[in-house]
Amino acid sequence: MSAKKLKLVVRDTGSIKDAVLPKSSGGRLLEQGLRDKLAERYPDVEVEVVAEPSSGFQALRSELESGGSSLIGSSTDVVLLSVADEVERFADGQDPHAVAAAIKEDLLACIKLIKSEVGAHILVANLSSIDPQNPIYTYHGLDAEPFTLCAQRLNLVLIGASHEEGISIIDVDRKIAEAGGGGTVVRGGVYNEAGSNVVLNELIRVLDDYGFLDDRPLMEQIGAKTRGTT
């Protein structure tokens, strides 16, 4: 019986990449990454992990719409994205509600294009809203929105996109909080070794739930809009 194969592409330049790749493959923190952990727990699954740089959802959308994305024709099973690169879009002076709406529009476009052009399942990691270097007790009088509030806005965007398109969220915010919060976070959006392992274990759990690690039929990603048309 041939081994089951899984190819995962992570589009992230920061902490999610470091939670997936070991130090021997370009990660900064972990001795064992996703491939190593799955080899131990699921020896019958051949895993390929590819990490590619990310410039955010807007750039990915343009790349996919142009037809020149490396994802197209790559036989990828899972695309793992992160909202982390979107924090910088909340520039001073811009309406944060309009920014959040634009980010959601780009993300939904990416999801639809990945489903149609790549045929992969889509997972998106949210952000821990903890920033130990800048704890916020009140938003009154602040000129710019702090990281904590930006992270919360992005996490809400992701919940809405998940509801509409049926993608799964890697709930970094919840898992980091359960693991002790500040003890796993270096600064806003950056996790230490313990935090990276928390993210990695949650990713493995989600992959297992979908059926990628055994012989079950894969769970489909169907959102509320799709269900409403059937």
Spell out the CATH class of 4-224: alpha beta
Q: What is the spatial distance between Cα 53 and Cα 108, in angstroms, rounded to a whole number?
A: 20
What pLDDT does residue 225 have?
Answer: 64
What one-character-per-residue DSSP string does 81-100 give? Answer: EESGGGGGGS-TTS-HHHHH
- Within a 10 A sphere around the Cβ of 121, how many other Cβ atoms? 24
Measured from the Cβ of residue 27, the count of other Cβ atoms closer than 10 Å reads: 19
Contact at 8 Å (CB) between 223 and 164?
Answer: yes
Kindly write down the DSSP assignment for every residue of 155-218, as one continuous string. HHHHHHHHHHH-PEEE-HHHHHHHTTGGGGEEETTEE-HHHHHHHHHHHHHHHHHHTTTSSSPP
Q: Which residue has the tokens 């039929």?
A: 217
- Per 3-state DSSP, the chain is made up of helix, strand and coil in percentages (nearest 5) of 45, 15, 35
pTM of the model: 0.92
Q: Is the pLDDT of residue 14 over 90?
A: no
Every domain of the chain and the residues it spans: 4-224
**Residue 195 in contact with residue 179, Cβ under 8 Å?**
yes
Reported as a pLDDT band with limits 50, 70 and 90, residue 141 is low
* Residue-wise pLDDT tens digits, 147-190: 999 999 999 999 999 999 999 999 999 999 999 888 999 999 99
Would you say residue 227 has pLDDT above 80?
Answer: no
* Number of helices (H), then strands (E), in the chain: 8, 7
Phi, psi of 201 (to 5 degrees): -65, -35
Write out pLDDT tens, residues 43-72: 999 999 999 999 999 999 999 999 999 999
Whole-number Å distance between alpha carbons of 136 and 63 = 37
Tokens of 87: 């924090």
| CA distances from residue 60 to 31, 54, 117 in whole angstroms, order as listed | 30, 8, 13
C-alpha neighbours within 13 Å on the C-beta side of residue 192: 13
**Residue whose token pair is 């398109």:** 165
> Where does 53-159 show beta strands of DSSP type E?
78-82, 121-125
Residue 142 has pLDDT above 80, yes or no: no
Compute the mean pLDDT over every residue in the chain, rounded to the nearest whole number.
91
